[in-house]
Amino acid sequence: MKKSRKNKRRLLPIFVIAGIVVACAITAICYGMMSSDKKVDKDYETETINIVQNNNPSENESDDYDNHNDYDYSLSNSSSPYMVKVNRAANCVTVYAKDEDGHYTVPVKAILCSTGKKTGDTPLGTFTTSDKYDWRLMVDGTYSQYAYRIEGEIMFHSVPCFDDKKDELEYKEYNKLGTPASLGCIRMTVRDAKWLYDNCPKGTTVVIYDDADNPGPLGKPESIKIPENSKYSGWDPTDPDPKNPWLSCYPVISNAIDLTIKAGSSTDLLKHITAVDTCGNDISKNVGITGNYDLNKPGIYTVTYTVTDILGKTTSVSACITVTDMDIETTPIEPATPVRETTSSRKNTDYDNYRYTTTAPETTTTPQETTVPTYDPTEPPTEAPTTTEPPTTTKQQTTTPKPTQTEPPTTTQKQTKEPSPDDSTKKTRNPDGNTE
């Protein structure tokens, strides 16, 4: 008995050590399995957040939203006809329609925009649109048209106005379209904001990502600039409101005059042609010429000069080109700045009346000293044009006395247009319009 008890005491430490070893092994195996499961779950969660549910990105968000090109087919479950993708880095919006399989893969529209001027003001991620407003008060006290909520305070909307009036546009902010300029919202022209407002119902998917190298499959559009001194600077040129004065404005082509040139000459028909767009910006380089003509063959040809501006408005002007074997050739005129004229009989609330300049500037025409003006004998002498010497009205060479100050002033050939009486009542705008 004593010997058996003694043997058991000797074996007890061995059993204890073996138990500890087994327990440690089991613990290690279980821990490894749990760590593996956690890693898989974490990877899946990270991928899901980056692609679908990244509504609240961290402050240290990456400048490249790497997964924006990996189409998420779950988005196709939306009933909206379009999906909107915003390239924050390029300040460009691309609208996609569904393909035959019901996936948003067909680009249909590109829109120039302005996102947040500070990195992070406009969040990255995938969102669903909700509320719509014809006019919406912004956080800086301005107002915008066609506001369409993306997430929280982030919205699509037009460039802000000083007040809830369409002729109170912050034109300096409008001219920043295509660059970061907002407090976080996505700005665009009235025409583009209204298109999203009208065509994309609530629940439309919006993906905001970064790709500075590629604005989108349709490229990055341009926006017309509003001159600072324009009397219509308070209006968005794309606003479809019938009261918008820009709607009656069109591009203007100048110096498209009839020419006579010698056959075989190397005359550039576009050299002296100038043009401005709807808002008055120089677009002379965009003028094109069409027509069947041969500068080496004598004849009379009709050519057409055409220009189209960013708004899609087109103007065409025709001129005759006479090609001759004679040495007579029309002296080319110097390029002149196109002038947009208005009639004084219209009120300043009416629209511009455009007139093409089809004659050479007065500075290029030098009257001959030997030319004696011919006058209508029924008109009083004071109606005659002024010259450096008093005109002679008879064949006898008599000296006509110079007019005194008591005589009414003579009228010149160039008539000065009287200013419109309504010009004095025109509203003065604050040139420093940015309140953000």
Active site residue 157: yes
Q: Write the pLDDT tens digit of every residue in 93-112.
A: 999 999 999 999 999 999 99
How confident is the prediction for the chain on average, in pLDDT? 75
Alpha carbon distance 310, 283 (integer Å): 10
Q: State the DSSP code for 431.
A: S
Q: Which of 135, 228, 232 is nearest to 173 (CA)?
A: 228
C-alpha angle 426-354-363 in degrees, rounded to nearest 5: 100
Q: Write the pLDDT tens digit of every residue in 157-215.
A: 999 999 999 999 999 999 999 999 999 999 999 999 999 999 999 999 999 999 999 99
User: Most confidently modeled of 63-77, 111-125, 314-328?
Assistant: 111-125
Q: Which of 65, 151, 171, 164 is nearest to 434 (CA)?
A: 171
User: Most confidently modeled of 261-270, 350-359, 415-424?
Assistant: 261-270
395: helix, strand or coil: coil
Q: Please give the share of the chain, as a percent, with pLDDT higher than 90.
A: 55
Q: What is the dihedral of CA 272, 276, 281, 285, to 10 degrees?
A: -50
Q: Check whether 428 has a pLDDT greater than 50.
A: no
Burial of 94 (0-12, 13-18, 19+ CB in 10 A): buried
Residue predicted with more confidence, 291 or 432: 291
pTM value? 0.62
pLDDT at 78: 82
Residue predicted with more confidence, 311 or 266: 311
Alpha carbon distance 327, 349 (integer Å): 51
Burial of 191 (0-12, 13-18, 19+ CB in 10 A): middle
Residue predicted with more confidence, 11 or 419: 11
SS3 sequence of 25-51: HHHHHHHHHHHHHHHHHHHHHHHHHHH
Alpha helices in 108-219, H assignment, sequence order: 171-174, 190-199
Beta bridge partners of 314: 308
Active-site choice (92, 113, 161, 185): 185
pLDDT at 390: 42
Active-site choice (157, 161, 200, 249): 157
Q: Check whether 377 has a pLDDT greater than 80.
A: no
Residue predicted with more confidence, 243 or 417: 243
Residue predicted with more confidence, 424 or 219: 219
285: helix, strand or coil: helix
pLDDT at 332: 55
2: helix, strand or coil: helix
Q: Which of 428, 228, 259 is nearest to 348 (CA)?
A: 428
10 Å Cβ neighbour count for 220?
18
Q: Which of 60, 64, 416 is nearest to 214 (CA)?
A: 64
pLDDT at 136: 97
Q: Check whether 425 has a pLDDT greater than 80.
A: no
Bridge-based pairing state of the strands 154-158 and 205-209? unpaired
Alpha carbon distance 33, 193 (integer Å): 53
Alpha carbon distance 258, 272 (integer Å): 12
Q: What is the dihedral of CA 49, 54, 60, 62, to 10 degrees?
A: 80
Q: Concatenated DSSP letters for 341-383? A: ---TTS-TTS--------S--GGG----TT------TTS-GGG
Domains and CATH numbers, the chain: 66-209 (2.40.440.10), 249-359 (2.60.40.10)
